[in-house]
Amino acid sequence: MTNFQDDGLALHTDFYELNMMWTYWQQGVSERNAVFEVFFRKLPFGSGFAVFAGLEHVIEYLSSLHFTESDLTYLEEVTDYSPEFIDYLRHFEFKCTVRSAVEGDLVFNNEPIFQVEGPLAQCQLVETAVLNILNYQTLVATKAARIRAVVGNDPLMEFGTRRAQETSAAMWGTRAAYIGGFDATSNVRAGKVFGIPVSGTHAHALVQTYRDDYKAFMAYAKSNRDVVFLVDTYDTLRSGVPAAIRVAKEMGDKINFQGVRIDSGDMAYISKRVRQQLDEAGFPEAKIYASNDLDESTIQNLKMQDAKIDVWGVGTKVITAYDQPALGAVYKLVSIEDDNGDMVDTIKLSSNAEKVSTPGKKQVWRITRHEDGKSEGDYVALASEDLSSHKDLYMFHPNYPYINKTIKHFDAQPLLKPIYDHGTLTYQLPELEEIRRYGQESVASLWDEYKRVLNPQDYPVDLSQLAYDNKMAIIRRIKENVNQ
Ligand SMILES: Nc1ncnc2c1ncn2[C@@H]1O[C@H](COP(=O)(O)OP(=O)(O)OP(=O)(O)O)[C@@H](O)[C@H]1O
Ligand SMILES: O=P(O)(O)OC[C@H]1O[C@H](OP(=O)(O)OP(=O)(O)O)[C@H](O)[C@@H]1O
Ligand SMILES: O=C(O)c1cccnc1
C-alpha cells in the first residue's frame, strides 16, 4: 500500500465516523440538522470541579478542516466509498454552529460543555477529534489546578515533557497546565509557540560530566546567570550544598545565585537541613527547589511536614494526569431533524441510570444569589427556555428530586458561549495570559467545600423542570414502543 503524507486532520477520526457519514449520505440524511453535546459523567481525580481547556486547539482543528487530495486517494484505496461520495468529501466545508465553555471555565459532571449543531454528517465527523482534544486538555488543566490549590502562592514549574505521551501531548499539556495555574515550563518550544514563561535548572548529567559538584557548578556559573544548582548527585548535605555555597560566594553578583534543587531522598528532612546550611552561609534569600514525582498529595504531605521548599517542579504526574489518565467525556446526539423538518430530541438509554443521556439542545446556567454572589449550582435547561421570565428558581437533583431548593433573586450566566455560527468563527480567542488569569479567578471564586483536594462536596448540577419532563416523556415513549 502507498504511504501518504500526513497533511491534514480530517482523517484524525475513527473509521466508524466516516462509515456513518457514508451511510447518512447514501440515505439522503447527511444534511439534516443535528445537535450533539459533549459531557463527562464523573469528575476526575475525585476532584470537586474541572477546568475546561482545549478550545483553542479545537478551533485550530475546525477552522482548517478539509479533506486533502491525499486523504481522498487514501480513502479510495481502502474503502468502497463511491466516487460521488469522495467528491462530496472533496467539497466538505465546515458549516456547523458551535457553542462551548471557554478555556479556564469551571465545568462539572453531567452538563454539556461543548455543543455542535449543523449537518448531521459534519457533526459526526468531528466527534473523535473534539473528544480527543477536550478530554486530554481538560484533564491536565484540572490536575494542574489541584496541584496549584495545595501549593498556594509558591512558584510552580512544569517539567513534564520528557514523560508526556509524545510531542503533541507535551505541547498542549504544557499549555493546559499553565491554564490550570502553573507559572512556567521547561519546554522551550511551548515557550516559543504559546508565550509561556520558560525556566529551569540543570540535570545530573552536568555534575556527572565533571564528576565533581564544585567543578560542575563553577562551569555552569561561568556561562549562566540566575543559577539554581542541582545538589543531590552524590551527597546533598556533604557535597552538593557546600559546593553550591562555595561557588555562590566565589562568583558573587556575577551569577545571581537563586538557590538549589533537590530531586531525591526524604525531602522534608533534607530541605530543612539545606535551609539551615544556606542560612548559616549567609544565603537566606536562596530558594530551595524540589522535584521528584511530586503531585498534590506529596506536596500537601511535604507542606504538613513543614518542608522548607520554596519552588515546586512537577512533571510526570501533571502531564500524564497520572492517577487518572482519561476524563471520559462523551459526545451524544441530543436532537435530530425528522422527515418533516421538525427537530426531535433523542436519548441514549442504559440500565445504568448515570449513563442515560439528557435529550434536547441545552444551555447551562451558572446560578448565583443576587444579594451576595453566592454560588448555588448549575441549572441545565433546554436551550429554548427563557430564564429571565423566572422570578424564583426551583432547583432539584435530577436523580433525587427530594433534594431541592428555591432561589429568590438569582443571577444566571450561560456557560455555553457562541463560537461558530454556521461555520463562521465568531469567538475571539483570548490571549493565554488572560485565559490563565480567568482560570485562576474561576477557581478562586469557588467555595472551599468544592475546592478541597480530598472528598469535596458535590457541586449541584440540576435539570430544569422542562428538561427533566422532556427526558421522562421520551423514556416513557421509548419504553412503550419497546413493549409493543
Ligand atoms: N518527606 C517526604 N514525605 C512524603 N513524600 C516524600 C518525602 N520525601 C520524598 N517524598 C516522595 O517520595 C517519593 C519517592 O521518593 P524516594 O526517596 O524513593 O526517591 P529516591 O528514590 O530518593 O529518588 P530517585 O529514585 O529519583 O533517586 C517521591 O515521589 C518523593 O517526591
Ligand atoms: O519527577 P517529575 O515530576 O517527573 O519531574 C521531572 C523529572 O525529570 C528530571 O529527572 P530525570 O531523572 O529525567 O533527569 P535528571 O534527574 O537527570 O535531571 C527531574 O530531575 C525531575 O525529577
Ligand atoms: O529545569 C529543570 O530543573 C528540569 C527540567 C526538566 C525536567 N526536570 C527538571
Specify burial of residue 155 (Cβ count, 10 A radius: 0-12, 13-18, 19+). middle
Query: Which grid coordinates belong to 357?
Result: 443521556
- Which among 49, 46, 53 has a CA at the least distance from the CA of 377? 49
Per DSSP bridges, beta strands 156-158 and 311-314 are parallel
CATH superfamily of 151-320: Aldolase class I (3.20.20.70)
Interval between CA 184 and ligand 3 midpoint (Å):
11
Q: Specify the ligand 2 atom closest to the Cα of 317.
A: 3
Residues whose CB falls within 8 Å of the CB of residue 385, separated by 6 or more in sequence, listed in order? 363, 464, 466, 467
Specify burial of residue 215 (Cβ count, 10 A radius: 0-12, 13-18, 19+). middle
Question: Please, what's the largest Cα pairwise distance for the chain?
Answer: 90
| For the chain, domain boundaries | 151-320
Q: Whose CA is nearest to atom 9 of ligand 3?
A: 159
Give CA–CA dist 260/231, Å, rounded.
6
Q: Specify the ligand 1 atom closest to the Cα of 305.
A: 1
C-alpha separations of 404 from 11, 17, 379, 385, 397 in Å = 46, 40, 12, 20, 6
C-alpha separations of 70 from 12, 73, 87, 397 in Å = 14, 5, 13, 51
- Which among 357, 362, 442 has a CA at the least distance from the CA of 398? 357
3-state secondary structure 438-450: HHHHHHHHCCHHH
Residues whose CB falls within 8 Å of the CB of residue 46, separated by 6 or more in sequence, listed in order? 454, 455, 456
Kindly tell me the sign of the dihedral angle through the C-alpha atoms of 94, 99, 100, 102: positive
Phi first, then psi, for residue 147 (nearest 5°) are: -65, -45
User: Is the CB–ligand 2 distance for residue 371 below 6 Å?
Assistant: no
Interval between CA 261 and ligand 3 midpoint (Å):
10
User: Is the CB–ligand 2 distance for residue 314 below 6 Å?
Assistant: yes
User: Is the CB–ligand 2 distance for residue 264 below 6 Å?
Assistant: no
Report the pLDDT value the prediction gives residue 371, as an integer from 0 to 100. Answer: 86
Interval between CA 133 and ligand 2 midpoint (Å):
26
Residues whose CB falls within 8 Å of the CB of residue 246, separated by 6 or more in sequence, listed in order? 214
User: Is the CB–ligand 2 distance for residue 294 below 6 Å?
Assistant: yes
Q: Which of 292, 304, 322 to mutate to test ligand 1, by most ligand atoms within 8 A of the CB atom? A: 292
C-alpha separations of 362 from 130, 205, 470 in Å = 18, 55, 12
- Side-chain-side CA neighbours of residue 115 (13 Å): 25
User: Is the CB–ligand 2 distance for residue 293 below 6 Å?
Assistant: yes
Interval between CA 303 and ligand 1 midpoint (Å):
14
Give CA–CA dist 27/8, Å, rounded.
28
What parts of the chain have a pLDDT lower than 50? none
Report the pLDDT value the prediction gives residue 208, as an integer from 0 to 100. Answer: 98
Q: Whose CA is nearest to atom 27 of ligand 1?
A: 264
**Ligand 3 first shell, C-beta below 6 A:** 159, 186, 200-201, 261, 291, 313, 315
- Measured from the Cβ of residue 270, the count of other Cβ atoms closer than 10 Å reads 23
Q: Specify the ligand 2 atom closest to the Cα of 202.
A: 18
Interval between CA 144 and ligand 2 midpoint (Å):
18
Report the pLDDT value the prediction gives residue 388, as an integer from 0 to 100. Answer: 85
C-alpha separations of 30 from 14, 90, 100, 164 in Å = 18, 15, 23, 38
Report the pLDDT value the prediction gives residue 197, as an integer from 0 to 100. Answer: 98
Say if residues 444 and 153 touch (Cβ distance below 8 Å).
Answer: no
Interval between CA 230 and ligand 1 midpoint (Å):
16
Interval between CA 463 and ligand 2 midpoint (Å):
46
Q: Whose CA is nearest to atom 3 of ligand 1?
A: 302
- Which among 185, 173, 233 has a CA at the least distance from the CA of 205? 233
Interval between CA 301 and ligand 1 midpoint (Å):
12
Give CA–CA dist 427/151, Å, rounded.
33
H or E, element range at 269: helix 267-280
Counting ligands in written order, the one closest to the CA of 264 is 1
Q: What is the pTM of this model?
A: 0.97
| Helix (H) and strand (E) counts in the chain | 16, 21
Strand partners, 115: 37, 99
